[in-house]
Amino acid sequence: MRDYFLRCQMVWRRIPCRLFLASTCAALLGIAAGRNLIGPVYLVSGSSMSPTYQEGSMIHTIPVSGSLERGDIVVLDDRKGDYALKRIVGLPGETVHIWRGYVFINKKILIEPYLAKQVYTFPRQRAAVFVLGEGQFFVLGDNRPSSADSRLYGPVERKQVKKRVMMPDTAVKARFGPIRIPTFDNAALRLPVPKLS
């Protein structure tokens, strides 16, 4: 037994052993501190958020504190055992229309400058109108043709939103434009019907 302790002391006195142990402890402490201070980092797989986030990009996330806003990019549980990266477009209590390739919120067009040129939004299923309840959000990917989002699986609940992606203050935000969806009465008044004789 004493020989064993003597061998351990000899090994401990060697510089490489001390260096290895010190670097291992430093690495473990660094990882623990980084996850607690900086927050989780996720790897983007898939192209549903391109061109904003390309496949293979690393994103830094923070816990969701406060209210979620239109344009926030969030990590959410897609109820398929995986996490998805999407942009919040519709807020609780709003009505989202997808009409003629554009997104309308409460009948006002949503201008989305973060989308690539010539990218239009079309419904995935037959439904093109989504009425959001309390605590429900409508999320879309920035690459609309290849994104599985709320057009496919409907609005997401607040409890499904797990993290918020850190975005700079200079990030472009969506805004409402001057175009509105015409109501049926207004559309009928503008289209005169010729009388048959």
| Catalytic residue positions, numbered | 48, 86
Q: Residue 67, Cβ neighbours under 10 Å: how many?
A: 9
CA distance linking residue 104 with residue 149, whole number of Å: 16
Least Cα distance to 144 among 8, 44, 27, 47 occurs for 47
